[in-house]
Amino acid sequence: MRLSLLKKLITFVIVAGATAYLGAVAYLYFSQDRLIFPVRAADTENAADENFQKVLIETPDGEQIFALHHPSEEGEATIIVFHGNSSSAVRQKNRGERLMKAGYGVLLAGYRGYPGSSGQPSETGLFIDAIAAYDFIQTQREQQIALYGHSLGTGVATYLATQRDVFAMMLEAPFNSVAAVAADRYPWVPVLSLIKHDFQSDEHIKKVTAPILILHGDNDTTVPLEYGQRLYANAPEGTEFVIIEGLGHGGFSRIGSEERAIEFFNNALVN
């Protein structure tokens, strides 16, 4: 009798554990879009000012992507800024103003599903948006273009640099791949089989021919330093990797990242 009860108890524990595990895996699978693309509201209606005009960029698959544009003048290059997953084009205006004052045209690019844009975000969709942003700039005036990405935006920028000609690329807090970060964060989940948005920057960066500057904080708990180092290990020869002591995932402007970027872009244009 006791043996029968024990068998039932063991069976119950196994079934309950398996059910809980499968439930947790299912939750992560169906929540991954929200976890990777946690869109926050932003005031796009009042975003334009004397420095930036609002634009809606048409994509080949029929979406409209919100962006803020400071057009370049004759002879100037343009910097396209790609924001992180919980930010927006509007929240990049301070960065854009610093780049503008240094003599660059600036496009603060948004993504589908983010404030002011149509559609739903996805890896493939963001890549389409990035190419559309680049092509939009070239339709204004043929000019040199550089890329400036933070966090998720580094994955977008790195892909774009394999598809279009850029003269330089600056990356803040990058990852080797979203899949790798997620697999380490959830070791009990078969992430590599379930994830829909890989963002394999470690493969893309191998194909980039432009100069690259990478900044990463050694106190980053969102995308820890090791992931930036893994990306750097795949980067072309000549890529510069700078570790910022005490810096987390944000706050790059406080340590003068825009000034570093401007110096980097200026040197890349000369060379």
- Cα separation, 42 vs 99, in Å, equals 22
**Stretch 214-230: mean pLDDT:** 97
CATH number at residue 58: 3.40.50.1820
φ, ψ at 68 (rounded to 5°): -115, 130
Domain membership flag for residue 253: yes
Domain membership flag for residue 148: yes
Q: State pTM to two decimals.
A: 0.90
Domain membership flag for residue 129: yes
pLDDT at 59 over 90: yes
Strand partners, 148: 81, 170
pLDDT at 190 over 80: no
Number of domains in the chain: 1
pLDDT for position 136: 98
φ, ψ at 213 (rounded to 5°): -120, 130
Domain membership flag for residue 118: yes
Q: Tell me, what amino acid is at 55?
A: V
**Stretch 140-155: mean pLDDT:** 96
- Cα separation, 63 vs 208, in Å, equals 27
In this prediction, residue 21 has a pLDDT band, given cuts at 50, 70 and 90, of: very low
Domain membership flag for residue 30: no
Instruction: Kindly report the number of other CB atoms within 10 A of residue 123's CB atom.
Output: 20
pLDDT at 78 over 60: yes
In this prediction, residue 24 has a pLDDT band, given cuts at 50, 70 and 90, of: very low
Q: Provide Rg for the chain, Cα atoms.
A: 21
Domain membership flag for residue 239: yes
Looking at every residue in the chain, the average pLDDT score rounds to 90
- Domain extent, residue 115, equals 37-270
Q: Can you read off the two tokens belonging to residue 216?
A: 């990463």
